[in-house]
Homo-oligomer: A and B are copies of this chain.
């Protein structure tokens, strides 16, 4: 995971070494800050050398709509990380609260995340896709940036599919992960 896969184009130089920055934020300090930071929930899949892989990520965000670009990061902690980091195309599934089973499954280590053969299929282009989720994007990886053993990946959306649209101005049924708890957004959580 720390090595740039052969298909990647060159990354930026490595970040400044820690000692050169004079920083004093410990891992525990940093975790305390991010413990209070919630995130929307995505599942990212790819076809790896040993079959389909999936991981749950709260780091997906939209970067640009024209061209349609998103970014996310992958940490080495996930068993799916090497295959996702090396893939040239991936599927980014953006989930709502109805997709909690898919979210939990892709977040659980040590299980076969594709055991339920009714929950997924393969696109004509070969990538695995969980068919019932709110929305998904098939993407080409267009850029990678190494950061502390993790990989930040920029991807260009090639194909989109929305199963459950959300109208502008409505609160919908979004899924959020925060401090190891799943939450559902709705009228009950909206601030005026």
Contact with B along A56-70 (1 / 0, CB 8 A): 001111111111111
Cβ of A107 under 8 Å from chain B: no
Instruction: List the B side residues contacting A62 at CB < 8 Å.
Output: 30, 34, 37, 59
A32 part of interface (Cβ distance < 8 Å): yes
Contacting pair B168 A134 (CB below 8 A): no
This chain's copy number in the assembly: 2
Q: Are B23 and A158 closer than 8 Å at their CB atoms?
A: yes
Given contacts A64-B75, A94-B33, contact A16 B156 (CB under 8 A): yes
Q: How far is the CA of A142 from the CA of B14 in the complex (A)?
A: 8
Report yes or no: B190 in contact with A185, Cβ–Cβ below 8 A.
no
A185 to B37, CA, bound (A): 11
Contacts known (A143-B12, A183-B191); A160 close to B30, Cβ less than 8 A: yes
Check if A180 is an interface residue, CB within 8 A of chain B: yes
Can you identify 18 A-B contacts, CB atoms within 8 angstroms?
A12-B12, A21-B158, A23-B156, A25-B160, A27-B66, A33-B94, A33-B135, A34-B70, A36-B135, A59-B71, A63-B148, A64-B75, A64-B147, A71-B71, A145-B152, A183-B185, A183-B190, A186-B189
Beyond the given pairs A24-B159, A33-B136, A183-B189, 12 more chain A to chain B contacts, judged by CB atoms under 8 angstroms and listed by A's residue number, are: A25-B158, A27-B68, A30-B137, A37-B42, A37-B62, A38-B174, A59-B61, A61-B72, A63-B150, A172-B178, A182-B192, A189-B189
Binding site for B on A (CB under 8 A): 9-13, 15-16, 18, 21-27, 29-40, 42, 58-73, 75, 94, 96-97, 100, 134-137, 140, 142-145, 147-150, 152, 154, 156-160, 162, 164-166, 168-172, 174-176, 178-186, 188-192
